[in-house]
């Protein structure tokens, strides 16, 4: 839209490049705590970057701690307006990490929310229900993530079936997400368990799992244990352009998350953009993204039986599935169109400046 954008982020290696006209600067990650990348050079790198450039605004992303707090501090030191993009509440279920995140939320997170000038949340759940954001309603606005509706289309593709030797007339249930311990809230184990019941009803169906992480071997073992390995395909990491083909080839896209850490669920609107019905759990942001019975189906979290029944229903009822896919595409065009959401973002930036 004619603005100069610099992205500073953490990565496994140092790297600078230009992507789509944006300057991308990657600082090497020193180590990680759970999902949080820590870089001992971040403070100095950020200070140098800001002091050498005439930035009008700093937009901080919060999905994990550390980066946001440092960036907000720099915005105060250099007196630059600061926007915080708040993706999801930071919570954990494991006892030790639950203790750590509880301490974080009443200390650093509270200071962060107080210090920034504006909070954009991409999650309707966080906007409406987050107990951490309720005290800051006066500087809170909702701008959901969007989809490039030209790039994500319903163009038919059978390349995926050929690639994995899946029979042409078979059904594909698609999951896309990180398969690590820190992303266990995606609920993949419940989807794998549910697929045993799906295969009992529809034996020519396949579960295609896109993503990588330190739990892949565990998920493979689960599939083997319940006897469905032959119909479960692990693709590994897939680049976005290729991932769109997976959406196009799928019959259903499923996101069975189990906690409110799922602030939105991008795969749902990406699947809808490709005219695919979606199934998700009634929790966090998912319950706001899926229009139950119109663009997809909502099921209780951690309920493999209910999940299986919903998958079977849509695989058997082609007419309903197609209608949901059409409704989903219209929803994305109306509500999650990149162009419209970019204009909303530009507007709040300009008002803040």
pLDDT at res. 157: 65
pLDDT score of 98: 86
- Alpha carbons 153 and 133: distance in angstroms, whole number: 35
pLDDT of residue 232: 98
* Number of neighbouring beta carbons within 10 Å of residue 165: 7
Task: Specify the pLDDT at position 158.
Answer: 61
User: What's the pLDDT score for residue 182?
Assistant: 84
> Going from the N-terminus, what domains does the chain have, and what CATH number goes with each?
6-146+337-352 (3.40.50.2000), 159-335 (3.40.50.2000)
Q: Which residues of the chain register pLDDT less than 50?
A: none
The predicted structure's pLDDT at residue 299: 98
CB–CB of 327/317 below 8 Å? no
Q: Are 251 and 172 in contact (CB under 8 A)?
A: yes
Please check whether residue 60 is in contact with residue 83, taking contact to mean a CB–CB distance below 8 angstroms.
yes
Give the C-alpha distances (Å, rounded to integers) separating 175 from 118, 190, 322.
Answer: 34, 12, 19
Inter-residue contact 187 to 258 (CB < 8 Å)? yes
pLDDT at res. 159: 80
The pTM of this model reads 0.89
């Amino acid at each position: 839209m004619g603005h100069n954008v610099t992205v500073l982020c953490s990565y496994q290696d140092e790297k600078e490049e230009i992507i789509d006209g944006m300057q991308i600067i990657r600082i090497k990650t020193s180590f990680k705590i759970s999902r949080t990348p820590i870089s001992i050079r971040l403070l100095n790198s950020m200070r140098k970057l800001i002091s050498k450039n005439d930035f009008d605004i700093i937009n901080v992303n919060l999905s994990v701690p550390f980066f946001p707090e440092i960036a907000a501090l720099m915005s105060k030191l250099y007196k630059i307006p600061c926007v915080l993009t708040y993706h999801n509440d930071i919570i954990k279920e494991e006892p030790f990490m639950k203790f750590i995140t509880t301490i974080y939320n009443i200390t650093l997170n509270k200071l962060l929310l107080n210090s920034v000038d504006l909070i954009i949340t991409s999650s309707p759940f966080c906007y409406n229900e987050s107990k951490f954001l309720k005290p800051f309603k006066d500087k809170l606005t909702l701008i959901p993530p969007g989809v490039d509706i030209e790039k994500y289309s319903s163009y038919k593709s059978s390349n995926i079936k050929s690639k994995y030797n899946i029979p042409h007339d078979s059904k594909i249930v698609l999951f896309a997400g990180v398969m690590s311990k820190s992303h266990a809230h995606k609920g993949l184990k419940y989807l794998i368990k549910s697929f045993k019941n799906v295969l009992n009803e529809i034996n020519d169906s396949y579960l295609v799992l896109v993503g990588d992480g330190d739990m892949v071997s565990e998920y493979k073992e689960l599939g083997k244990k319940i006897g469905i390995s032959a119909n479960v395909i692990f693709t590994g990491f897939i680049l976005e352009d290729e991932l769109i083909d997976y959406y196009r080839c799928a019959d259903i896209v499923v996101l069975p998350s189990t906690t409110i850490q799922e602030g939105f669920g991008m795969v749902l609107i990406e699947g809808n953009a490709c005219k695919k019905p979606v199934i998700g759990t009634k929790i966090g942001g998912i319950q706001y993204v899926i229009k139950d019975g119109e663009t997809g189906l909502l099921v209780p979290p951690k309920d493999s039986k209910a999940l299986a029944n919903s998958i079977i229903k849509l695989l058997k009822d082609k007419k309903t599935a197609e209608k949901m896919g059409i409704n989903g595409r219209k929803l994305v065009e109306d509500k999650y169109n990149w162009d419209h959401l970019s204009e909303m973002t530009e507007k709040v930036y300009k008002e803040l400046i």
